[in-house]
């Protein structure tokens, strides 16, 4: 389980502010309604579930987790998409469409959609990657979905380059994999 930070001010590095943060998590393992109730009793208050897998299909387990979190009374529940980038994958627009349609079909509700921009089969073509991300964002927003970016400094640099600001107006979920809790600001 990764504990995460989400900060709409897009900091260079994650920050932990005392008494002004909430604890949340993302995970791909299945969690029951009782599991979310237990997490809530232990200070967790938001969840971000994977709704689309890098193999080009919606994640039904992640969507069920979103429903379970809501059923347990969680108010802050979002989803993230791991884009499919292999040859033969659906177009960015179609990936967003498939993810959101499945969320709706299953009766789930997300507050926001996070686009994962982490090293996972992204091509070396930075210009292509930038256009791909912009297309994901554009289509999600045409569906009325609020969008954020899930990445780290190193991944962003490799995939789109540090100088690119094409998604600078989007909230940032900064991935920090160091085994320590990071809080939602």
Kindly state whether residue 78 falls inside one of the protein's structural domains. yes
50-86: pLDDT as tens digits: 999 999 999 999 999 999 999 999 999 999 999 999 9
Domain of residue 123, CATH code: 3.20.20.80
Average of pLDDT values for 74-100? 96
Kindly state whether residue 84 falls inside one of the protein's structural domains. yes
Question: pTM to 2 decimals?
Answer: 0.84
Domain that holds residue 165: 40-174
The tally of domains found in the chain comes to 1
Q: Are strands 44-52 and 23-27 parallel, antiparallel or unpaired?
A: parallel
Average of pLDDT values for 169-179? 79
CB atoms under 10 Å from CB of 93, counted, come to 15
Kindly state whether residue 6 falls inside one of the protein's structural domains. no
Kindly state whether residue 122 falls inside one of the protein's structural domains. yes
* pLDDT given for residue 121 in this prediction: 87
Q: For the chain, how far is it from start to end, CA to CA, in angstroms?
A: 19
Kindly state whether residue 181 falls inside one of the protein's structural domains. no
Instruction: Give the pair of three-digit tokens for residue 17.
Output: 């502010």
pLDDT band at 105 (very low <50, low <70, confident <90, very high): very high
């Amino acid at each position: 389980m990764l504990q995460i930070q989400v900060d709409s001010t897009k900091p260079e590095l994650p920050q932990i502010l005392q008494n002004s943060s909430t604890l949340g998590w993302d995970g791909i393992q299945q969690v029951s309604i009782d599991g979310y109730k237990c997490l809530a009793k232990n200070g967790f208050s938001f969840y971000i579930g994977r709704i689309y897998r890098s193999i080009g299909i919606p994640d039904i387990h992640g969507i069920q987790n979103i429903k379970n979190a809501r059923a347990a009374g969680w108010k802050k529940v979002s989803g993230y998409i791991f884009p499919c980038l292999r040859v033969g994958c659906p177009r960015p627009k179609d990936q967003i469409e498939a993810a959101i349609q499945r969320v709706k079909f299953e009766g789930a509700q997300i507050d926001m959609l996070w686009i994962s921009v982490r090293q996972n089969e992204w091509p070396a073509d930075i210009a292509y990657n930038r256009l791909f991300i912009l297309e994901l964002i554009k289509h999600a927003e045409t569906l009325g979905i609020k969008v954020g970016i899930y990445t780290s400094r190193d991944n962003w640099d490799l995939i789109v380059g540090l100088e690119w600001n094409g998604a600078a107006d989007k909230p940032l979920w900064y991935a920090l994999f160091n085994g320590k809790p990071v809080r939602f600001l």
